[in-house]
Structure 1
Amino acid sequence: MQIRRATAKDAEDIRRILWDTYETTWKPELTATAIARFESSGNTARYVDTRLRAMRVAESYGTIVGFVDWERDFIDALHVSPLHQHQGVGSHLLAFAETWIAAAGHTGVQLETDTFNRQARGFYQRHGYQETGYCPDEEWHSGFTTVKMAKTF
């Protein structure tokens, strides 16, 4: 597996990974209203178009299997294709981002997930992250609670 900077040709694969993880992780938890709002919003395409140049992708045998996106000391997104989860892709992407964040002079890293997402919470806890706070998740409008997590280097 290789981790590299995303290019324009990766945009569709990144959108596909985002959609697949939405379908398997978030959609089952959302209200019908939130599903309709999200699926008609175009937010996924806008996010990829806006952040593509900053993203790093994990490529395995010519296939994009995951990506990570961060700004300063905050990981905005880490997604692995459901077909490639539990194979170490997420761990490699996380370590890659942490290395760059530390090299930029930050003493730690932060991120957010949702309380219902036990898989993500467990993943980050296994990698040394601690839950540091909770707040209403205003992105989905489905009554979720955001979990703030952090790790000190």
Structure 2
Amino acid sequence: MFFVRTAGERDLEKVRALLVATWHATYDSYYGIGKVDELTAKWHSLDALRARLQRKNAEFVVADNGKEIAGMGFAAMSDMFPKTVILHQLYVLPKFQRQGIGRDMFAELETCFPDAERMRLEVEPENLRARAFYHAHGFSEVGTTPNCGDEQSGIPALILEKHLIR
């Protein structure tokens, strides 16, 4: 059984390995191995993960069973959109998907921001499993972006949003 808890410094290497594995399993067919290697080196480096861990007004969680980490999630209050929390990452290792781990991490992240009125995220348009997951959790499409993740990624994404009920 996996428990959702706040991530710590000691988790970062396992989280990085999880992200690299999950990104290759999910995105190689969309972007190619080279682009996924480039993005994971930049976005999922230990320094990048450490910065997320230390970010104010943010929550970084892992799903842990005491032996391994099966999933991770990271959300933070937006600097651009008032009363909006941005779900930056929610990933579960492929061998543990469809067991409720993503749901449990999402539920935890959703409750960590009592002042937020809505949650936003970006998702690959062709990632139908992720889109179905988010739609099942109350998200709807509100726009698109030509640069998912950062201003120069060149990766288009759908922007989804959910109003949070308090």
Q: Calculate the TM-score normalised by the size of structure 1.
A: 0.86
Q: Is the 8 A contact 1:131 1:150 kept in 2?
A: yes
Q: Distance in 2 between matches of 1:142 and 1:33?
A: 13
**How many angstroms does 1:36 deviate by?**
5.8
Which AA in structure 1 matches 2:156?
A: T
Which AA in structure 1 matches 2:44?
A: T
The 5 Å alignment of 1:66-85 reads 66-72=71-77, 73-85=85-97
Q: Deviations over 1:32-59 (max 9, x none)?
A: 66346446x4431132122134411111
The gaps in structure 1 that reach 5 residues or longer are: none
Identity %: 26
Structure 1 residues 16, 152: closer, same or farther in 2, change over 3 A? same
Q: Is the 8 A contact 2:27 2:36 kept in 1?
A: no
Q: Distance in 2 between matches of 1:139 and 1:96?
A: 22
Query: Paired residue for 2:130?
Result: 120
RMSD across aligned C-alpha pairs, in angstroms? 2.2
Which AA in structure 2 matches 1:23?
A: H
Structure 1 residues 70, 32: closer, same or farther in 2, change over 3 A? closer
**How many angstroms does 1:2 deviate by?**
1.5
Work out which of the residue numbers 32, 35, 57 in structure 1 matches 2:62: 57
**How many angstroms does 1:82 deviate by?**
1.0
The 5 Å alignment of 1:13-28 reads 13-28=14-29
Residue 49 of structure 2 corresponds to residue 48 of structure 1 = yes
Aligned length: 150
Q: Is the 8 A contact 1:131 1:149 kept in 2?
A: yes
Judging by fraction of residues, say which structure has more helix. 1
Q: Is the 8 A contact 2:7 2:53 kept in 1?
A: yes
Q: Deviations over 1:15-72 (max 9, x none)?
A: 0110111111112211466346446x44311321221344111112432111111111
Q: Deviations over 1:88-112 (max 9, x none)?
A: 00001111111112x2x11111111
SS in 2 for 1:149: strand
The gaps in structure 2 that reach 5 residues or longer are: 78-84
Query: Paired residue for 1:145?
Result: 156
Q: Calculate the TM-score normalised by the size of structure 2.
A: 0.80
Higher RCO (C-alpha 8 Å, min separation 6): 1
Which AA in structure 2 matches 1:111?
A: L
Q: Distance in 1 between matches of 2:157 and 2:70?
A: 26
Query: Paired residue for 2:109?
Result: 97
Q: Distance in 1 between matches of 2:138 and 2:43?
A: 31
